[in-house]
Amino acid sequence: MADKIRCSHILVNKESLAKEILEKIKKGESFGKLAEQYSLDGSRKRGGDLGYFGRGAMVREFEKAAFSLKRGEVSGIVKTQYGYHIIKRID
């Protein structure tokens, strides 16, 4: 299953907000709860869970960051055409 990974993300439209959220995650706040509270896309209802996806399914910057994470790891801020993402690799 190495060609498919499962991630959650939080998508916001301001880098300053992404930085605030990242600080909350580093302090131990729940990624899923923060996604429900802040994320701009439909995955917020699932705590940011995007399910499993393979290479080529996401925009390049997002994919590069997601596939570089280890299980349980959270990315820094990833800018794409959609805004600012914080990505957490689940599996």
- How many independent structural domains does the chain possess? 1
> What does each C-alpha distance from 15 to 52, 59, 62 come to in angstroms?
26, 18, 15
In this predicted model, what pLDDT tens digit does every residue of 32-49 receive, in sequence order?
A: 999 999 999 999 999 999
Residue percentage of the chain with pLDDT more than 90: 97
Q: Are 83 and 62 a contacting pair, CB within 8 Å?
A: no
Residue 69's domain is classified under what CATH number?
3.10.50.40
What pTM was estimated for this model as a whole?
0.96
Overall average pLDDT of the 2-29 stretch: 96
- The whole domain housing 36 covers 4-89
